[in-house]
Structure 1
Amino acid sequence: MSHYQVILFDLDGTLSDPKTGITKSVQYALEKLNIVEPFLDKLECFIGPPLHVSFAEFYNMDEENIQKAIEWYRERFKEKGMYENELYEDIPELLKLLKERQYTLAVATSKPTVFAEKILQYFHIDQYFDLIVGSNLDGTRSAKAEIIQYIIDKYKQYELADFIMIGDRKHDIIGANNCGVDSVGVTYGYGSFEELNGTKPAYIVNSVAELKNLLLAAPSYSKNVIDFVGVKPVE
């Protein structure tokens, strides 16, 4: 795997499990709009995609109500939600090993950059990342392809083949595909194997341990290998 030089990580569902903070903040926003949703599990669909997409898709909101919902969501998220979050086990160790091997690491998230920075600082893993890129607070640059392309443009010294995107939802894989870079789908987050496999990532892994084995594998590792420490290459 050593031919990759720049490794992009999604945040929610890939580096950390943000379920409590995101779903409770969505629940709060919905309540402000007189929509009662008592079951947080039903709001897991908001983990990953941009908020404006999810409020429109899952609650059929018009643009005015979408903006109100996002404002209410951020009100709670800034105060509590971003800290109702847990790093996946072994993520700090993985990031440390990658930096020791001199990979360039970046975060590519649809979450606003300012929130992503605070979360990484809260977990004390911000020092491992050379670049943290998310959406803007006004809703621009929220599509994953835009975010990935922004990072690619920052590293013009590299070829597209030097980049790889790691994420848990189809939006991460589709964004990578649209930008012409390889990707890894992780099923330990909030996207199922079926969701990820349907968007054709280069690899699918089921745990941080498998991700570590993939990224730190010997350079002879090939996508054509069918079974490599649990890693599933996608053909």
Structure 2
Amino acid sequence: MSDVLLFSAGLDSFPAWHYLDKPPALYFDLGHRYRDQERAAITALVDRCGIEVSVSRELDLSRWEADNAIIPLRNVYLAMLAANRAERIWCVGVKGDATADKSPQAFRQISQMITDLSGRPVWLDSPFWQMTKTEIVAWYLGQGLPAGNLLLTFSCSRTDSAATHCGRCSSCLRRWISLVNNGIDAPFETDPWTWARVADYYVPAMRDGTYPDHRAEEFFAALDAVGFVPPPPAHPATAEDGQR
């Protein structure tokens, strides 16, 4: 069975290349706003590690990119195009991912659709459905692979052309959590734990069960690692409070 890894030079797909024993990699330049940074990261990783990466510009989805960098149906498009090249398509999702087109169930549905319409078996899957980002980085380091190469990856949804990680987006926050929990000090334009949204949104959301338990545990472990003390939980108003 022929394999291909959908590769973005991110903190998930780079360890996946090692985990899957270095399969051919495929990058789709979708015209999205941080594609220049991804292309630069790919070049750096190819030079350092000898990754075999094919770059394709056959699909421009930039007009559908939302303000939060999400492109609806992105993984459906990528899987259909990759199916022209391989029977088994690796697209990296991690434990707890549950967006419309990135979850174990979604990947099974996409696989079945392409199989039915192409008339041949096509399988879309991730090697990391049972692992968190922190655990993926731990696995990588456990193989004796260089931590410095992880810092060549790019995982940020900033809107300008700067090559540094902004530290003020959800992608940067997840990157920081997985690295700091493995003892890696990574550069960011702004320290992610100082991002106002961490205290205003993420701390309450992690406490109230908005996110899975494993996400909350890793989030608070990372804050503890840098000595960040989250604000105390807000107490519900009482009748007496309302009379003041």
Which of the pair has the greater relative contact order for Cα pairs under 8 Å at 6+ separation?
1
Q: Same fold (TM over 0.5)?
A: no
Q: By percentage of residues, which structure has more strand? A: 1
TM-score of the two chains, using structure 1 as the length reference: 0.34
Q: TM-score, normalised by structure 2?
A: 0.33
In our comparison, the structure showing a higher alpha carbon Rg is 2
